[in-house]
DNA sequence: CATTCTCTTGACAACGTTGTCACAGCGCGG
DNA sequence: CCGCGCTGTGACAACGTTGTCAAGAGAATG
């Protein structure tokens, strides 16, 4: 900037004015400065500008997701980005792979970078560590899981209801031996889905069989193994509720490998791009990611713009998408 | 920081030393400062620190992708992130949806933010606009497409070879009427795949029929329509080469809807997570995204660390993954 | 006891910007 | 011809840090 000023024969402040398109600079000075900018390849430094101007705001938001390469996280990121683009806000994306320590270190590093707000899909049990930053006015919107130990905005779906939709559907198609494959019960959503599964069974007059609830299943490969074990039981299930999309994928693989695709009913939780063309087409409980993403972006930017109302907790309703795999009879 | 210094009864510089864990501060001063930091909830400002210290480097890299929500972009982002994490480098992710103007504006905004390097999957025909920044030492690694008009690192796959692998495979299974569904020919990779398709046909002694090359197909829905048109020809194809993963998905849908799944052969370009459990399991030409991502990260961080050797152009070899849909006979 | 050295600490300027204020030049009305 | 307001421009300090240097307090040395 100093060089531009020298070359154009003006002061620093005048270059600043031209670069920021402030009114009140004569046309010929403007032209001279612009020529110098082009000639020297000068680039305005946003970090310095924000330091001086915006009292440390950075025009960035952080997205702290489970794994940017899974379709749920990626779609969420994309929704947020679409909203952010209009405001010239950049998005810093991180994956935490369900690891609590990583969550804390990522959040710490984003706060150091003075992001203007945070989208957070937490892996920690409690988020008391955020209390200071929240008090200092950092906008944080939780997604998929409710905050524990602090109170701030959240956008979640009713996981218990979703699980009940799935199980009710299977019951309505004549099933009694219904298994569940779920993630670690320490994860809030996994726990809520397990509860929903049990309560739907009881409601149907079926006492939940602990042998049929395969929990702590983490990956698609784990799900294959878990489904094998379920199928090897003396009294195997006639239907499976797979409580996360990658677990449903594992379940499909396992059924294929056992030659049981189309014989054992299957309902997944979370839709994914190709669920309609797998074999058989997968019936799922869908949470509308676009809606979630839009809601999150709306809350986050409202807070950034100064909304100080009480925390909003938006709970969206999942819906059942019938495609075939869930309508197989025992 | 001023407040921390006052509370601890030390100078600004001493707080800075403690915060940066510099040696040579007495234990009791360190303790006093740390107490003050905790008490006031002080957060070190990385932007200001970098401004002063790193001569404007930001410990951020930009990832300019086609669409963070598609699986190729998302996996690439994830590979880069894994590398970046160790170095405490944050990633700013953006989608450009194949729009050239957006590419320029995104790159401009990232340069203003003084990212230390750029991963770029370009949508523009030529990237001369980068010349100034490259000359100023901005590390840029192109992915999936080679730079045009400027010379800098790139990591690509041999698209012509990939297309030939696909078509040769179909020819080997007895096909002569082989259609292609491809993206806009203005896109470098789409063009290379079209060339590969044609050259493989000629090599097999088949003159390419222009009616069978459906180009400028953008989305999965477009692909459904394009496949319908192909199937409605007087002399319809017995096999289809779908030159991008979402086009393969559209092709599968179209074949299902016409009751021709399992009757018409199909080979896709780009693998995707569920290609093995769609019906029939999809034979694809795979570009190994993990390898690409790792290679990109390696180049980018080498440049950031000061490697000034001549631009590297890494060309990876795609491979055919046989699963069923490509082995159907006419 | 004077001198040198080591160890801590702090004052100051600088990183690249911009908000604030002041000032020069000009035209205009009285 | 004087004072006024308006327009365009620049000097300076400040944003939150840290590199540089210097200085004070002891400790070690002769």
Name the token pair of B270: 């780009």
Strand D, nucleotides covered by protein (CB < 7 Å)? 7-20
Q: Which of residues 23-52 of B touch strand D (CB under 7 A)?
A: 42-45, 48-49, 51-52
Taking only Cα atoms into account, the Rg of chain B, rounded to an integer number of angstroms, comes to: 26
Q: Chain A residue closest to B136 (CA)?
A: A41
Considering only CB atoms, which chain B residues are within 8 Å of A52? none
Share of chain A above pLDDT 90, in %: 94
Over residues A19-42, mean pLDDT: 93
Main-chain dihedrals φ then ψ at residue A91, nearest 5 degrees: -120, 125
Q: Which fold has domain A159-288?
A: Rossmann fold (3.40.50)
Cis (ω within 30 of 0) for the bond into A294?
no
pLDDT for residue B84 is more than 80: yes
B243-266, pLDDT tens digit by residue? 999 999 999 999 999 999 999 999
In this predicted model, what pLDDT tens digit does every residue of B228-246 receive, in sequence order?
Answer: 999 999 999 999 999 999 9
B93–A contact, CB cutoff 8 A: yes
Provide the number of CB pairs (under 8 Å) joining chain A to chain B.
145
Distance CA A124, CA B140 (A): 36
On whether the B2-44 domain is CATH 1.10.260.40, my answer is yes
Q: Which residues of A touch B249 (CB under 8 A)?
A: 273-274, 277
How far apart are the C-alpha atoms of A150 and A148, rounded to whole Å? 6
Query: By CB neighbour count within 10 A (0-12 exposed, 13-18 middle, 19+ buried), where does B158 fall?
Result: middle
**In A67-127, alpha helices (H):** 71-85, 100-112
For range A45-68, the mean pLDDT: 93
A-facing residues of B in 30-69 (CB < 8 A) are: 41, 43-48, 50-51, 56, 58, 60, 67-69
Residues of chain B contacting residue A252, judged by C-beta atoms under 8 Å apart: 277
CA of B30 to C1' of D23 (A): 21
| Distance, CA of B103 to CA of B97 (rounded, Å) | 9
Q: Closest nucleotide to residue A33 (Cα to C1')?
A: D9
Looking at residue A54, its pLDDT comes to 81
Alpha-carbon separation of residue A77 from A118, A121, A127, A303, B304 (angstroms): 12, 11, 22, 18, 26
- Mean pLDDT of the region A243-267: 94
Shortest Cα distance from B232 to chain A (angstroms)? 22
- Which residues 24-53 in chain A have a CB closer than 7 A to strand D? 24-26, 29, 48, 51-52
Asked if A191 contacts A199 with a C-beta cutoff of 8 angstroms, the reply is no
Establish whether the CB of B111 is closer than 7 Å to any nucleic acid atom in strand C: no
Using one digit for the tens of pLDDT, what is the confidence trace for B170-228? 999 999 999 999 999 999 999 999 999 999 999 999 999 999 999 999 999 999 999 99
Rounded to an integer, the average pLDDT of A146-157 is: 96
Cβ neighbors of A35 (< 8 A, separation 6 or more) are A8
Helix (H, G, I), strand (E, B), or coil: what is residue B237? Answer: coil
pLDDT band at A176 (very low <50, low <70, confident <90, very high): very high
pLDDT at A151 over 90: yes
Q: What are the start and end residues of each CATH 3.40.50.2300 domain in chain B?
A: 60-157+289-316, 159-288
User: What's the pLDDT at A274?
Assistant: 86
Share of chain B above pLDDT 70, in %: 100
Query: Residue A56 pLDDT > 80, yes or no?
Result: no
Q: Cβ–Cβ of B112/A43 closer than 8 Å?
A: yes
Residues in Cβ contact with A137 at an 8 Å cutoff, skipping those fewer than 6 apart: none
pLDDT of residue B190: 95
Strand ranges inside B163-212, DSSP E: 178-181
Contact B109 A90 (CB under 8 A): yes
Query: Under CATH, which architecture does the A60-157+289-316 domain have?
Result: 3-Layer(aba) Sandwich (3.40)
Instruction: Taking residues A42-51, report their average pLDDT.
Output: 95
pLDDT in tens, A267-293: 999 998 889 888 899 999 999 999 999
Delimiting residues of CATH 1.10.260.40 domain(s) in chain A: 2-44
Ramachandran bin of B125, using left for φ above 0, alpha for ψ from -120 to 50, beta for the remaining angles: alpha
pLDDT tens across B269-324, in order? 999 888 988 889 999 999 999 999 999 999 999 999 999 999 999 999 999 999 99
pLDDT at A265 over 80: yes
Residue B4 CA and nucleotide C4 C1' are separated, in Å, by 36
Maximum C-alpha span of chain B: 89
For residue B56, is pLDDT > 80? Answer: no
Residue-averaged pLDDT of chain B: 95
What region does B324 belong to: left with phi over 0, alpha with psi -120 to 50, or beta? left
Angle, helices B71-85/A71-85, rounded to nearest 10 degrees: 90
Decide: CB of A57 under 7 A of nucleic strand C: no
A196-238: pLDDT as tens digits: 999 999 999 999 999 999 999 999 999 999 999 999 999 999 9
User: Is there a contact between B227 and B195 (Cβ–Cβ < 8 Å)?
Assistant: no
Checking if the pLDDT of B55 tops 80, the result is yes
């Amino acid at each position: 900037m100093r060089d531009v000023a020298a070359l154009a024969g003006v002061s620093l402040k005048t270059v600043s004015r031209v670069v920021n398109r402030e009114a009140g600079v004569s046309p010929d000075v403007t032209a001279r400065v612009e020529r110098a900018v082009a000639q020297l390849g000068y680039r305005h430094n946003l970090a310095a500008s924000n330091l001086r101007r915006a009292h440390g705001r950075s025009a960035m938001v952080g997205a702290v997701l489970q794994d940017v390469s899974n379709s749920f996280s990626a779609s969420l990121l994309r929704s947020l980005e679409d909203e952010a683009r209009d405001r010239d806000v950049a998005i810093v994306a991180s994956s935490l792979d369900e690891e609590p320590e990583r969550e804390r270190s990522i959040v710490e590093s984003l706060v150091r970078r003075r992001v203007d707000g945070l989208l957070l899909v937490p892996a920690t049990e409690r988020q008391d560590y955020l209390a200071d930053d929240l008090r200092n006015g950092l906008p944080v919107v939780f997604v998929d899981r409710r905050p524990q130990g602090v109170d701030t905005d959240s956008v979640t779906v009713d996981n218990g209801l979703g699980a009940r939709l799935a199980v009710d559907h299977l019951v309505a198609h004549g099933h009694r031996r219904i298994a569940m494959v779920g993630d670690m019960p320490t994860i809030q959503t996994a726990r809520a889905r397990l509860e929903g599964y049990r309560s739907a069974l009881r409601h149907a007059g079926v006492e939940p069989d602990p042998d049929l609830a395969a929990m702590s299943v983490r990956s698609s490969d784990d799900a294959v193994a878990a489904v094998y074990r379920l199928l090897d039981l003396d009294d195997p299930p006639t239907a499976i509720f797979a409580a996360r999309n990658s677990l449903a994928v594992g379940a499909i693989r396992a059924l294929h490998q056992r030659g049981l695709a189309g014989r054992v009913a299957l309902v997944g939780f979370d839709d994914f791009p190709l669920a309609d063309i797998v074999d058989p087409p997968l019936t799922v409980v869908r949470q509308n990611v676009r809606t979630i993403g839009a809601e999150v972006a709306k809350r986050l930017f409202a807070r950034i713009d100064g909304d100080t109302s009480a925390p909003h907790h938006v709970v969206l309703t999942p819906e059942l998408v019938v495609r075939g795999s869930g309508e197989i009879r025992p």
